[in-house]
Amino acid sequence: MDSAKKSVLAARRQFLLDAARMAGGVGVLGLGVGLHAKQAKALPPAAIRPPGAGPEQDFLGACIRCGMCVRDCPYNILFLARPEQPIATGSPYFVARTGPCEMCEDIPCVKACPTGALDHKLTDIAKSKMGLAVLVDKETCLNFLGLRCDVCYRVCPLIDKAITLDLRHNERTGKHTIFEPVVHSDQCTGCGKCEKACVLEVAAIKVYPVKLAKGELGSHYRIGWEEKQKAGGSLVAPEVEHQYNLPEGMRYEHGKGLSSGPPGTMATPEAGVDSLRSVVPNPGKNAAPAGNIPQNIPGGGLSSRMSDDAPR
Protein backbone atom coordinates (compact mmCIF):
# COMPACT_ATOMS: atom_id res chain seq x y z
CA MET A 1 0.00 0.00 0.00
CA ASP A 2 2.69 2.41 1.07
CA SER A 3 4.97 1.49 -1.82
CA ALA A 4 2.03 1.81 -4.24
CA LYS A 5 1.41 5.34 -2.96
CA LYS A 6 5.07 6.13 -3.37
CA SER A 7 5.12 4.89 -6.92
CA VAL A 8 2.02 6.96 -7.73
CA LEU A 9 3.76 10.03 -6.35
CA ALA A 10 6.90 9.25 -8.32
CA ALA A 11 4.86 8.77 -11.49
CA ARG A 12 3.09 12.05 -10.90
CA ARG A 13 6.37 13.83 -10.36
CA GLN A 14 7.75 12.28 -13.52
CA PHE A 15 4.67 13.32 -15.48
CA LEU A 16 4.91 16.91 -14.31
CA LEU A 17 8.62 16.98 -15.02
CA ASP A 18 8.09 15.60 -18.54
CA ALA A 19 5.34 18.10 -19.23
CA ALA A 20 7.47 20.99 -17.98
CA ARG A 21 10.42 19.80 -20.03
CA MET A 22 8.28 19.63 -23.15
CA ALA A 23 6.65 23.01 -22.54
CA GLY A 24 10.07 24.53 -21.96
CA GLY A 25 11.61 23.16 -25.11
CA VAL A 26 8.64 23.85 -27.32
CA GLY A 27 8.29 27.29 -25.74
CA VAL A 28 11.83 28.24 -26.74
CA LEU A 29 11.17 27.05 -30.28
CA GLY A 30 7.89 28.96 -30.37
CA LEU A 31 9.48 32.16 -29.14
CA GLY A 32 12.12 31.94 -31.85
CA VAL A 33 9.65 31.27 -34.64
CA GLY A 34 7.22 33.85 -33.28
CA LEU A 35 9.79 36.64 -33.18
CA HIS A 36 10.98 35.67 -36.64
CA ALA A 37 7.38 35.82 -37.88
CA LYS A 38 7.00 39.27 -36.36
CA GLN A 39 10.00 40.51 -38.30
CA ALA A 40 8.92 38.78 -41.50
CA LYS A 41 5.77 40.91 -41.54
CA ALA A 42 7.85 43.95 -42.48
CA LEU A 43 7.75 43.88 -46.26
CA PRO A 44 10.65 45.65 -47.96
CA PRO A 45 9.44 48.61 -50.07
CA ALA A 46 10.70 47.17 -53.36
CA ALA A 47 8.59 44.00 -53.02
CA ILE A 48 5.08 44.56 -54.37
CA ARG A 49 2.29 42.02 -53.80
CA PRO A 50 0.20 40.78 -56.75
CA PRO A 51 -3.17 42.44 -57.48
CA GLY A 52 -5.95 41.69 -55.03
CA ALA A 53 -3.66 41.15 -52.04
CA GLY A 54 -5.08 42.68 -48.88
CA PRO A 55 -3.12 44.39 -46.12
CA GLU A 56 0.14 42.54 -45.39
CA GLN A 57 -1.12 41.17 -42.07
CA ASP A 58 -4.20 39.59 -43.68
CA PHE A 59 -2.30 38.44 -46.73
CA LEU A 60 0.27 36.52 -44.69
CA GLY A 61 -2.52 34.61 -42.97
CA ALA A 62 -4.46 33.88 -46.15
CA CYS A 63 -1.66 33.04 -48.60
CA ILE A 64 -0.64 29.36 -48.41
CA ARG A 65 2.53 29.87 -50.50
CA CYS A 66 1.47 27.49 -53.28
CA GLY A 67 2.74 29.63 -56.16
CA MET A 68 -0.34 29.22 -58.36
CA CYS A 69 -0.33 32.98 -59.06
CA VAL A 70 3.30 32.70 -60.14
CA ARG A 71 2.43 29.92 -62.54
CA ASP A 72 -0.55 31.64 -64.11
CA CYS A 73 1.13 35.03 -64.62
CA PRO A 74 1.61 35.19 -68.41
CA TYR A 75 4.48 37.66 -68.09
CA ASN A 76 6.37 35.70 -65.40
CA ILE A 77 6.85 38.74 -63.21
CA LEU A 78 5.90 37.03 -59.95
CA PHE A 79 8.36 35.21 -57.69
CA LEU A 80 8.08 33.26 -54.45
CA ALA A 81 10.30 34.66 -51.72
CA ARG A 82 13.27 32.51 -50.77
CA PRO A 83 14.31 31.98 -47.17
CA GLU A 84 17.25 34.38 -47.38
CA GLN A 85 15.07 37.25 -48.59
CA PRO A 86 13.49 39.68 -46.13
CA ILE A 87 10.05 38.71 -47.42
CA ALA A 88 7.88 36.05 -45.78
CA THR A 89 9.26 32.78 -47.18
CA GLY A 90 7.26 31.39 -50.08
CA SER A 91 4.98 34.39 -50.52
CA PRO A 92 4.60 35.97 -53.99
CA TYR A 93 5.94 39.39 -54.98
CA PHE A 94 7.18 41.35 -57.94
CA VAL A 95 9.78 44.07 -58.37
CA ALA A 96 8.49 47.01 -60.36
CA ARG A 97 11.86 48.21 -61.61
CA THR A 98 12.69 44.85 -63.26
CA GLY A 99 9.24 43.45 -64.03
CA PRO A 100 6.10 45.51 -63.45
CA CYS A 101 2.54 44.16 -63.52
CA GLU A 102 1.21 44.20 -67.06
CA MET A 103 -2.37 44.61 -65.79
CA CYS A 104 -4.03 41.71 -67.66
CA GLU A 105 -7.73 42.38 -68.07
CA ASP A 106 -8.70 38.85 -66.98
CA ILE A 107 -6.33 38.96 -63.93
CA PRO A 108 -5.22 35.28 -64.16
CA CYS A 109 -3.13 35.46 -60.97
CA VAL A 110 -6.18 36.33 -58.91
CA LYS A 111 -8.25 33.60 -60.56
CA ALA A 112 -5.52 31.04 -59.81
CA CYS A 113 -5.42 31.83 -56.09
CA PRO A 114 -7.14 28.93 -54.27
CA THR A 115 -7.59 30.68 -50.94
CA GLY A 116 -8.68 34.17 -51.93
CA ALA A 117 -5.51 35.69 -50.51
CA LEU A 118 -5.72 37.50 -53.83
CA ASP A 119 -9.29 38.72 -53.53
CA HIS A 120 -11.58 37.15 -56.14
CA LYS A 121 -13.87 40.16 -55.85
CA LEU A 122 -11.30 42.12 -57.84
CA THR A 123 -12.54 41.85 -61.42
CA ASP A 124 -11.42 45.21 -62.79
CA ILE A 125 -7.63 45.43 -62.83
CA ALA A 126 -7.84 49.22 -62.96
CA LYS A 127 -9.32 49.07 -59.46
CA SER A 128 -6.41 47.10 -58.00
CA LYS A 129 -4.16 48.68 -55.38
CA MET A 130 -0.87 46.81 -55.55
CA GLY A 131 1.00 49.87 -54.42
CA LEU A 132 1.24 53.57 -55.09
CA ALA A 133 3.68 55.38 -57.38
CA VAL A 134 5.53 58.24 -55.76
CA LEU A 135 7.77 60.74 -57.48
CA VAL A 136 10.42 60.39 -54.83
CA ASP A 137 13.15 62.59 -56.28
CA LYS A 138 12.31 65.95 -57.81
CA GLU A 139 15.98 66.85 -58.00
CA THR A 140 16.76 64.27 -60.66
CA CYS A 141 13.40 63.89 -62.44
CA LEU A 142 14.04 65.20 -65.95
CA ASN A 143 10.65 66.87 -66.15
CA PHE A 144 11.49 68.84 -63.02
CA LEU A 145 14.75 69.85 -64.64
CA GLY A 146 12.68 71.40 -67.42
CA LEU A 147 12.90 68.62 -70.02
CA ARG A 148 10.00 66.92 -71.70
CA CYS A 149 10.86 63.34 -70.68
CA ASP A 150 7.25 62.42 -69.81
CA VAL A 151 8.07 58.68 -70.02
CA CYS A 152 6.32 57.76 -66.76
CA TYR A 153 3.26 59.65 -67.90
CA ARG A 154 3.28 58.04 -71.35
CA VAL A 155 3.61 54.42 -70.16
CA CYS A 156 0.98 54.75 -67.45
CA PRO A 157 -1.90 52.38 -68.30
CA LEU A 158 -4.21 55.00 -66.81
CA ILE A 159 -2.62 57.96 -68.57
CA ASP A 160 -4.12 61.32 -67.59
CA LYS A 161 -5.89 59.65 -64.70
CA ALA A 162 -3.24 58.06 -62.50
CA ILE A 163 -0.48 60.37 -63.70
CA THR A 164 -1.15 63.86 -65.02
CA LEU A 165 1.28 66.54 -66.13
CA ASP A 166 0.71 69.72 -64.18
CA LEU A 167 2.06 72.83 -65.84
CA ARG A 168 3.87 75.60 -64.05
CA HIS A 169 6.28 78.36 -64.82
CA ASN A 170 9.97 77.52 -65.08
CA GLU A 171 11.48 80.13 -62.79
CA ARG A 172 15.03 79.30 -63.81
CA THR A 173 14.71 80.11 -67.52
CA GLY A 174 11.89 82.54 -67.03
CA LYS A 175 10.31 81.59 -70.35
CA HIS A 176 9.64 77.84 -70.21
CA THR A 177 7.18 75.53 -68.59
CA ILE A 178 7.78 72.68 -66.16
CA PHE A 179 5.57 69.68 -66.85
CA GLU A 180 5.34 68.14 -63.42
CA PRO A 181 4.23 64.49 -63.31
CA VAL A 182 1.64 64.18 -60.56
CA VAL A 183 0.39 60.79 -59.30
CA HIS A 184 -3.23 60.53 -58.20
CA SER A 185 -3.64 57.90 -55.53
CA ASP A 186 -7.32 57.30 -56.22
CA GLN A 187 -6.46 56.07 -59.72
CA CYS A 188 -2.94 54.61 -59.42
CA THR A 189 -2.93 50.79 -59.30
CA GLY A 190 0.73 50.46 -58.35
CA CYS A 191 1.53 48.39 -61.43
CA GLY A 192 5.00 49.89 -61.52
CA LYS A 193 5.25 50.59 -65.23
CA CYS A 194 6.34 54.16 -64.51
CA GLU A 195 9.17 52.96 -62.27
CA LYS A 196 10.24 50.42 -64.87
CA ALA A 197 10.21 53.05 -67.62
CA CYS A 198 12.01 55.85 -65.75
CA VAL A 199 15.10 56.60 -67.83
CA LEU A 200 17.36 57.51 -64.91
CA GLU A 201 20.05 55.22 -63.53
CA VAL A 202 17.96 54.99 -60.39
CA ALA A 203 14.27 55.66 -60.90
CA ALA A 204 12.97 59.01 -59.67
CA ILE A 205 9.44 57.61 -59.56
CA LYS A 206 8.94 54.46 -57.50
CA VAL A 207 6.10 52.22 -56.47
CA TYR A 208 5.76 51.59 -52.76
CA PRO A 209 3.26 49.57 -50.77
CA VAL A 210 0.28 51.90 -50.18
CA LYS A 211 0.92 51.82 -46.45
CA LEU A 212 4.35 53.38 -46.96
CA ALA A 213 3.40 55.81 -49.70
CA LYS A 214 0.15 57.33 -48.48
CA GLY A 215 -0.47 59.92 -45.82
CA GLU A 216 -3.65 59.92 -43.81
CA LEU A 217 -5.65 62.86 -42.50
CA GLY A 218 -6.92 62.81 -38.95
CA SER A 219 -10.35 61.18 -38.96
CA HIS A 220 -11.92 64.40 -37.69
CA TYR A 221 -10.53 66.47 -40.57
CA ARG A 222 -13.02 67.84 -43.09
CA ILE A 223 -12.00 69.39 -46.39
CA GLY A 224 -13.99 72.59 -46.74
CA TRP A 225 -14.61 72.65 -50.46
CA GLU A 226 -15.61 68.99 -50.50
CA GLU A 227 -18.10 69.52 -47.71
CA LYS A 228 -19.40 72.58 -49.54
CA GLN A 229 -19.94 70.52 -52.67
CA LYS A 230 -21.66 67.76 -50.73
CA ALA A 231 -23.97 70.24 -49.05
CA GLY A 232 -24.59 72.12 -52.29
CA GLY A 233 -23.42 75.39 -50.81
CA SER A 234 -21.41 77.02 -48.09
CA LEU A 235 -21.76 75.62 -44.61
CA VAL A 236 -20.87 79.01 -43.13
CA ALA A 237 -23.61 81.57 -43.23
CA PRO A 238 -23.43 84.22 -44.30
CA GLU A 239 -20.58 83.39 -46.66
CA VAL A 240 -18.02 86.14 -46.32
CA GLU A 241 -16.64 87.46 -49.54
CA HIS A 242 -12.92 87.99 -49.49
CA GLN A 243 -11.88 91.64 -49.29
CA TYR A 244 -8.82 92.58 -51.31
CA ASN A 245 -6.78 95.61 -50.31
CA LEU A 246 -6.52 97.20 -53.76
CA PRO A 247 -5.90 100.70 -55.11
CA GLU A 248 -9.04 102.58 -55.91
CA GLY A 249 -10.59 101.64 -59.20
CA MET A 250 -8.84 98.25 -59.33
CA ARG A 251 -10.54 94.91 -59.13
CA TYR A 252 -9.30 91.38 -58.57
CA GLU A 253 -11.14 88.24 -59.36
CA HIS A 254 -9.98 84.64 -58.84
CA GLY A 255 -9.08 83.13 -62.15
CA LYS A 256 -9.17 86.45 -63.98
CA GLY A 257 -6.50 88.41 -62.22
CA LEU A 258 -6.18 92.14 -61.68
CA SER A 259 -8.07 94.61 -63.78
CA SER A 260 -9.15 98.19 -63.66
CA GLY A 261 -12.67 99.35 -63.56
CA PRO A 262 -15.44 99.69 -61.04
CA PRO A 263 -16.23 96.66 -58.90
CA GLY A 264 -18.53 94.21 -60.55
CA THR A 265 -17.80 95.00 -64.19
CA MET A 266 -15.68 91.88 -64.47
CA ALA A 267 -18.30 89.57 -63.10
CA THR A 268 -18.41 86.54 -65.37
CA PRO A 269 -21.66 85.36 -66.83
CA GLU A 270 -21.37 82.10 -64.87
CA ALA A 271 -20.97 83.93 -61.63
CA GLY A 272 -24.02 85.96 -62.41
CA VAL A 273 -26.08 82.97 -63.37
CA ASP A 274 -24.79 81.13 -60.32
CA SER A 275 -25.87 83.80 -57.96
CA LEU A 276 -29.21 84.10 -59.63
CA ARG A 277 -29.76 80.36 -59.63
CA SER A 278 -28.82 80.02 -56.03
CA VAL A 279 -30.93 82.87 -54.84
CA VAL A 280 -34.15 82.37 -56.69
CA PRO A 281 -35.21 79.02 -55.22
CA ASN A 282 -34.59 80.26 -51.68
CA PRO A 283 -35.89 83.76 -51.44
CA GLY A 284 -35.27 85.30 -48.04
CA LYS A 285 -33.64 82.21 -46.59
CA ASN A 286 -30.50 83.72 -45.23
CA ALA A 287 -29.19 80.81 -43.19
CA ALA A 288 -30.09 78.02 -45.57
CA PRO A 289 -27.10 75.85 -46.47
CA ALA A 290 -27.75 76.35 -50.15
CA GLY A 291 -27.85 79.70 -51.79
CA ASN A 292 -27.03 81.89 -48.86
CA ILE A 293 -25.51 84.76 -50.75
CA PRO A 294 -24.68 87.74 -48.60
CA GLN A 295 -27.15 90.57 -49.11
CA ASN A 296 -25.51 93.49 -47.45
CA ILE A 297 -21.76 93.35 -47.71
CA PRO A 298 -20.24 96.60 -48.89
CA GLY A 299 -18.66 96.48 -52.32
CA GLY A 300 -19.63 92.93 -53.10
CA GLY A 301 -23.26 92.74 -52.21
CA LEU A 302 -25.79 90.75 -54.12
CA SER A 303 -27.93 93.71 -55.11
CA SER A 304 -25.07 95.52 -56.81
CA ARG A 305 -24.01 92.43 -58.69
CA MET A 306 -27.51 91.70 -59.81
CA SER A 307 -27.93 95.20 -61.11
CA ASP A 308 -24.62 94.89 -62.87
CA ASP A 309 -25.73 91.73 -64.56
CA ALA A 310 -28.96 93.21 -65.68
CA PRO A 311 -27.75 95.10 -68.74
CA ARG A 312 -26.02 92.07 -70.28
Partner 1 sequence: MNENMRTKRWGQEAVETKGWWLAHKWLVLRRVSQLGILAAFLVGPWFGLWIVKGNLNYSLTLNTLPLADPFILLQSLVTGHVPEKLALIGVAIVAVFYLLVGGRVYCSWVCPVNPVTDAAGWLRDRLGIKGGAHVSRNARYWILALTLLLAGITGTLAWELVNPVSMLHRGLIFGLGSAWMVVLAVFAFDLFVMNRGWCGYLCPVGACYALIGKASPLRVTAVKREACNDCMDCFAICPEPLVIKAPLKDATKGVGPVILASECTNCGRCIDVCSKDVFSFGSRFNNAASMAGVARAASKRSTQVGSAS
Contacts of residue 275, Cβ cutoff 8 Å, sequence gap at least 6: 293, 302, 305, 306
Binding of residue 249 to partner 1 (CB under 8 A): no
Which of 9, 10, 17, 33 binds partner 1 (CB under 8 A)? It is 33
Stretch that binds partner 1, among 82-90, 242-250, 266-274, 304-312 (CB under 8 A): 82-90
Secondary structure class of 253 (helix, strand, coil):
strand
205 with 135: CB under 8 angstroms? yes
Which of 8, 15, 18, 246 binds partner 1 (CB under 8 A)? It is 18
Binding of residue 120 to partner 1 (CB under 8 A): yes
* Residue 73 vs 162, nearer CB to partner 1: 73
* Residue 60 vs 204, nearer CB to partner 1: 60
Binding of residue 57 to partner 1 (CB under 8 A): yes
Stretch that binds partner 1, among 57-65, 175-183, 212-220, 255-263 (CB under 8 A): 57-65
Residue 287 DSSP code:
T
DSSP per-residue string spanning 120-185 = TT---GGG--S-EEEE--TTT-TTTTT----HHHHH-TTBTTTEEEEEEEETTTSSEEEEEEEE-T
Closest approach of Cβ 127 to partner 1, in Å?
Answer: 19
The Cα–Cα gap between 147 and 262 comes to: 43
Evaluate the omega torsion of the peptide bond into residue 294 and state whether it is cis, within 30 degrees of 0. no
How many other C-beta atoms can be found within 10 angstroms of the C-beta atom of residue 302?
17
Which of 17, 23, 202, 258 binds partner 1 (CB under 8 A)? It is 23
Binding of residue 211 to partner 1 (CB under 8 A): no
* Residue 28 vs 273, nearer CB to partner 1: 28
Binding of residue 207 to partner 1 (CB under 8 A): no
CA dist list (Å): 249 to 93, 157, 258, 268? 65, 51, 11, 18
Binding of residue 79 to partner 1 (CB under 8 A): yes
Residues of this chain, 86-115, that bind partner 1 according to CB under 8 A: 88-90, 112-115
Residues facing residue 253 across a β-bridge: 257
Q: What single-letter amino acid sits at 65?
A: R
The Cα–Cα gap between 177 and 169 comes to: 5
As a residue count, the chain comes to 312
Which of 1, 4, 34, 174 binds partner 1 (CB under 8 A)? It is 34
* Residue 37 vs 231, nearer CB to partner 1: 37
Stretch that binds partner 1, among 77-85, 172-180, 263-271, 295-303 (CB under 8 A): 77-85
Binding of residue 4 to partner 1 (CB under 8 A): no
- Please report, as ranges, the residues that interact with partner 1 according to CB under 8 A: 18, 22-23, 25-26, 29-30, 33-34, 36-38, 40-41, 57-58, 60-68, 70-72, 79-80, 82-85, 88-90, 112-117, 120
